[in-house]
């Protein structure tokens, strides 16, 4: 199944959103509610915020569903110098860094700076988390 990535632009920054990776952690909504407003259409309005602030909030997205490109010469997002894996209580494995997910044949399945990987085994978007852990009452 192909990914449908949407792009939202202002003069200073372009924000992309990949819905297949989003698990609704809401760090964007709580970080800049004027820019990331699920009740608005479009729900991402980068022109409503300072490009530096938008970039900071996008970089907090734990799944990589949100990415940004600076159009004003501002700094691009840099990966963590070393891979960091955080186990969330009863949920996903959050991975940050220049990370590649490799299949059993050694091929790169996915590459990114931020990912949420399934830990419960029930995601319909494996190896990525889709929030199934909450639906099934996963603990671990």
Domain 5-70 has CATH 3.30.70.20: yes
- Cα 62 vs. chain centroid, distance in angstroms? 5
Confidence bin at 27 (pLDDT 50/70/90)? very high
Map residue 5 onto helix, strand or coil.
strand
116 touches 85 (CB < 8 A): no
- For residue 3, what pLDDT is reported? 66
Confidence bin at 1 (pLDDT 50/70/90)? very low
- For residue 2, what pLDDT is reported? 54
pTM above 0.75, yes or no: yes
pLDDT at 31 over 60: yes
Q: Delimit the domains of the chain by residue range.
A: 5-70, 84-136
Q: In what order do the strands lie in the sheet with 108-117?
A: 84-87, 93-102, 108-117
- For residue 140, what pLDDT is reported? 86
Read off the pLDDT of residues 72-99 as tens digits, 9 standing for 90 and up. 999 999 999 999 999 999 999 999 999 9
28 touches 16 (CB < 8 A): no
């Amino acid at each position: 199944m192909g990914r449908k990535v949407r792009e939202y632009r202002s003069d200073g920054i372009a924000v992309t959103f990949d819905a297949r990776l989003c698990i609704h952690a809401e760090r964007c909504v709580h970080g800049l509610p004027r820019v990331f407003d699920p009740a608005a259409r479009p729900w991402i309005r980068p022109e409503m915020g300072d490009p530096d602030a938008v970039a900071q909030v996008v970089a907090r997205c734990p799944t990589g569903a949100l990415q940004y490109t600076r159009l004003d010469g501002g700094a691009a997002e840099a990966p963590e110098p070393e891979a960091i894996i955080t186990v969330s209580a009863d949920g996903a494995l959050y991975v940050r860094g220049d990370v590649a997910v490799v299949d059993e044949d050694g091929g790169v399945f996915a590459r990114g700076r931020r990912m949420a990987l399934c830990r419960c085994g029930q995601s319909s978007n494996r190896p990525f988390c889709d929030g199934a852990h909450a639906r099934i009452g996963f603990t671990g």
